[in-house]
């Protein structure tokens, strides 16, 4: 996992946990690429990424001082219900992306924060904790609980989750009221192309980029949401 920081004062000033930016750069792919905002500090924001294809490799090859076009903050982020006293942040792999901002806001609201990191192996686990309690889960048992992050997670007043859609579907089974940030294909990120359709339990679709990417877990029609993406995006 790599972290890229960029100077984006307007985004940094207003971004909320779970919102994303849509990036384009010279000689990059045609469509922008969405990234959850990972951290925000002063005039700067950070995103996290893995090298999964041509686009991310180009981003990682950039030098300090190079410029990207950054559209955002986009979408609706996590909503921290007033009155909640504890929150658990469940992330699988790059799903950790929106969690540092969520932890920051939850702590500011006086909540007790527990992080749950899941991955296939210990080598792929994230280490974010910001000094709070951490639970680890690995598929192979090489660190923490053997099994999924969802199974390892303790209960809390508020459950926030981000990761592979299969993991989020499991979150929905256990905590229908959890808030989950979903991963979809994305075209424009601004609400006009209707490419990031999220199937809803009540029927029809809405837009991950505009009504999402954060949803009440039980509102999504999980079997109809693609769980495998041909290119990895983090939204």
Partner 1 sequence: MPDMSVEVGGLKLRGPVLAASGTFGYGTEVPLLERRALGAMVSKGIFLRARAGTAPPRIVETPSGMLNAIGLQGPGAEALIRDYAPKWAEWEFPVLVNINGESASEYGEMASLLDGVPGVAGFEINISCPNVEQGGLYFGNDPRAAAAVTDAVRKRTRLPVWVKLTPMVSDIGVIARAVESAGADALCAINTFVGMSIDLNAYGPRLSFRTGGLSGPAIRPLAVHLAHQAARAVHIPVIGIGGITKAEDGLEFLVAGCTAIQVGTATFVNPKAVAEVHDGIAAFLAARGFSSLAELPRYLPRD
Binding site for partner 1 (CB under 8 A): 24, 29-32, 71, 184-188, 190-199, 203-205, 210, 224-226, 228, 230-231
The minimum distance between CB 190 and partner 1, in angstroms, equals 5
The minimum distance between CB 187 and partner 1, in angstroms, equals 5
Instruction: Please give the torsion angle defined by the CA atoms of residues 69, 198, 179 and 188, in that order, rounded to the nearest 10 degrees.
Output: 10
Burial tier of 191 (Cβ tally within 10 Å: 0-12, 13-18, 19+): middle
Of 52, 140, 34, 156, give the one whose Cα is nearest residue 97. Answer: 34
The minimum distance between CB 100 and partner 1, in angstroms, equals 26
The minimum distance between CB 41 and partner 1, in angstroms, equals 25
Nearer to partner 1, 84 or 200 (CB): 200
User: Could you tell me if 159 and 90 are in contact, meaning their C-beta atoms sit under 8 angstroms apart?
Assistant: yes
- DSSP line for 94-159: GGGTTHHHHHHHHHHTT-EEEEEEEESSGGG-----TTSEEEEEETT-SSSEES-HHHHPPP-SEE
Strand partners, 113: 87
The minimum distance between CB 24 and partner 1, in angstroms, equals 6
User: Could you tell me if 206 and 197 are in contact, meaning their C-beta atoms sit under 8 angstroms apart?
Assistant: yes
Nearer to partner 1, 32 or 117 (CB): 32
The single-letter DSSP state of residue 93 is G
């Amino acid at each position: 996992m790599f972290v890229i920081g960029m100077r984006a004062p307007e985004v940094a000033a207003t971004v909320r946990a779970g919102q994303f930016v849509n990036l384009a750069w010279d000689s990059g792919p045609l469509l922008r690429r969405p990234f959850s905002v990972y951290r925000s500090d002063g005039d700067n924001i950070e995103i996290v990424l893995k090298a999964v294809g041509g686009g991310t490799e180009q981003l990682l090859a950039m030098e300090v001082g190079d410029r990207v076009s950054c559209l955002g903050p986009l979408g609706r982020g996590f909503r921290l219900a007033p009155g909640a006293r504890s929150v658990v942040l469940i992330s699988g792999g790059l799903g950790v992306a929106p969690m540092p901002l969520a932890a920051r806001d939850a702590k500011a609201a006086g909540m007790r924060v527990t992080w749950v990191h899941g991955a296939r192996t210990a080598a792929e686990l994230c280490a974010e904790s910001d000094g709070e309690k951490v639970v680890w889960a690995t598929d192979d048992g090489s660190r923490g609980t053997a099994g999924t992050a969802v199974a390892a997670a303790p209960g809390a007043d508020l459950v926030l989750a981000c990761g592979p859609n299969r993991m989020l579907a499991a979150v929905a089974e256990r905590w229908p009221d959890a808030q989950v940030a979903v991963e979809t294909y994305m075209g424009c990120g601004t609400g006009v192309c209707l490419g990031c359709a999220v199937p809803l339990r009540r029927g029809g679709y809405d837009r991950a980029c505009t009504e999402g990417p954060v949803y009440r877990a039980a509102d999504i029609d999980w079997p109809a949401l693609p769980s495998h993406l041909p290119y990895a995006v983090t939204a």
